[in-house]
């Protein structure tokens, strides 16, 4: 059976990006589509480290910008980096207004950690290493109070529909126990894909195992031009305990003094980069792979 659902904006994905987009579109009529229950369908809930924002007295958006460009070897889009680094502090304020309780000391100052490629402590956390999960929980609480947002859970999107090079909606279906495929045409002049990355196409990942880049593929089939697809970032450190996905070891550990050592207790990153264990992730990841290939 096919049905029709009409709205102003469709947001596909219920991670932090999708939830924030839906909230910020108020009071427009929004349909938020999640392939699982809210809070269960994204990598965001797995994020441990926190959010980087130049809110410290010894920090500034300019320094944050310079750190980011340097970490990307100059390959980042400077216009986008400028927007992100300049607006980061206002996003922290927005999240606080929505109820996110960032970790603070007894004087109400943010407790910030330092992570790779950052020259300052600027990573704000929520409940220690539960940042992603706690932020998701708070955003869901906000969304459930907004009457302009229709939440559709357990819906898989199969295809974006376009006419004359213009998106007009998408085809989705409800999935779950005792449900025969029930296709719906979701009609809207605006579609936002917040469907995450593609970590699960690799043999080893710290992402949830159902993150395959479906949104990217749908966009390509609909005629979107993809760029920079080769830039997939690998988190350097995980816990080798035979689990799949691999449990992440947050970068904040190294920011607070943990060292990367080989089987001989040699701090090998010292000879690789001036920042040693806090070198940019791509540099640390490549060195770890090189050592592994050598049999370490």
What domains can you pick out in the chain, each with its CATH number?
2-43+142-221 (3.50.50.60), 51-124 (no CATH), 236-296 (3.90.700.10)
Structure tokens that stand for 70 in this block: 């340097």
Structure tokens that stand for 242 in this block: 């035979």
Tens digits of per-residue pLDDT, 257-272?
999 999 999 999 999 9
Residue 234: predicted pLDDT: 84
Among 24-33, 208-217, 235-244, 245-254, name the most confident range.
Answer: 24-33
Contact 278, 256 (CB under 8 A): no
Report the pLDDT averaged over residues 99-105: 97
Residue 181 has pLDDT above 90, yes or no: no
Structure tokens that stand for 176 in this block: 């779950």
Residue 205: predicted pLDDT: 87
C-alpha distance from residue 17 to each of 89, 103, 195 (Å): 17, 21, 9
| Total Cβ atoms within 10 A of residue 235 | 20
Residue 178: predicted pLDDT: 54
Contact 34, 72 (CB under 8 A): no
Q: Which of 120, 121, 254, 281 is catalytic?
A: 281
d(CA 220, CA 239): 35
d(CA 49, CA 278): 14
Report the pLDDT averaged over residues 151-159: 94
C-alpha distance from residue 264 to each of 240, 267, 278, 279, 296 (Å): 18, 9, 20, 21, 10
- Within 13 A of 272's CA, how many CA atoms are on the CB side? 21
Report the pLDDT averaged over residues 8-29: 97
Close Cβ partners of 52 (under 8 Å, ≥ 6 residues apart): 64, 88, 115, 118, 122, 123, 124
281 part of the active site = yes
Residue 244: predicted pLDDT: 85
Residue 203: predicted pLDDT: 87
Residue 1 has pLDDT above 70, yes or no: no
Contact 267, 233 (CB under 8 A): no
10 Å CB burial of residue 248 (0-12, 13-18, 19+) is middle
Tens digits of per-residue pLDDT, 47-84?
888 999 999 999 999 999 999 999 999 999 999 999 99
Residue 34: predicted pLDDT: 95
- Within 13 A of 86's CA, how many CA atoms are on the CB side? 6
d(CA 12, CA 218): 12
Report the pLDDT averaged over residues 113-140: 94
Close Cβ partners of 238 (under 8 Å, ≥ 6 residues apart): 204, 206, 246, 247, 248, 249
Work out the pLDDT band at 235, boundaries 50, 70, 90. Answer: confident
What percentage of the chain's residues is helix, strand, coil (to nearest 5)? 30, 20, 50
Report the pLDDT averaged over residues 215-240: 91
d(CA 122, CA 198): 27
Report the pLDDT averaged over residues 103-115: 95
- Does the pTM surpass 0.75? The reply is yes
Using a pLDDT cut of 90, give the percent of the chain over it.
77
Work out the pLDDT band at 39, boundaries 50, 70, 90. Answer: confident
Residue 272: predicted pLDDT: 96
d(CA 252, CA 191): 36
Residue 208: predicted pLDDT: 87
Tokens 């995980």 found at: 238
C-alpha distance from residue 201 to each of 59, 88, 206, 285 (Å): 38, 31, 12, 18
Average pLDDT, the chain: 93
């Amino acid at each position: 059976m096919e049905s029709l659902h009409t709205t102003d904006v469709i947001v596909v994905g219920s991670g932090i990006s999708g939830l924030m987009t839906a909230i910020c579109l108020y009071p427009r009529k929004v349909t938020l589509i999640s392939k699982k229950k809210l809070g269960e369908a994204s990598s965001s809930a797995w994020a441990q480290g926190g959010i980087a924002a130049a809110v410290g007295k010894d920090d500034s958006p300019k320094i944050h910008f310079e750190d980011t460009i340097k970490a990307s070897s100059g390959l980042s889009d400077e216009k986008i980096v400028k927007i992100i680094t300049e607006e980061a502090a206002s996003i922290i304020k927005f999240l606080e207004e929505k109820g996110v309780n960032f970790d603070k000391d007894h004087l109400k100052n943010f407790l910030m950690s330092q992570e790779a490629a950052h020259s300052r402590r600027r990573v704000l956390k929520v409940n220690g290493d539960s940042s992603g999960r706690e932020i998701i929980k708070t955003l869901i609480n906000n969304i459930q109070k907004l009457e302009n947002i229709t939440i559709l859970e357990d819906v898989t999107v199969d295809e974006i529909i376009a006419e004359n090079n213009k998106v007009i909606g998408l085809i989705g279906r409800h999935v779950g126990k005792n449900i025969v495929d029930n296709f719906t045409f979701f009609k809207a002049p605006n579609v936002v894909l917040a469907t995450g990355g593609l970590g699960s196409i690799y043999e080893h990942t710290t992402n949830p195992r159902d993150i395959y880049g479906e949104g990217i593929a749908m966009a390509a089939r609909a005629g979107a031009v993809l760029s920079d697809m080769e830039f997939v970032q690998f988190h350097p450190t995980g816990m080798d305990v035979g689990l799949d996905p691999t449990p992440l070891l947050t970068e904040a550990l190294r920011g607070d003094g943990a060292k990367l050592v080989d089987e001989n207790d040699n701090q090998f990153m010292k000879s690789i980069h001036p920042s040693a264990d806090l070198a940019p992730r791509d540099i640390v990841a490549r060195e770890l792979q090189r050592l592994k290939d050598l049999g370490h």
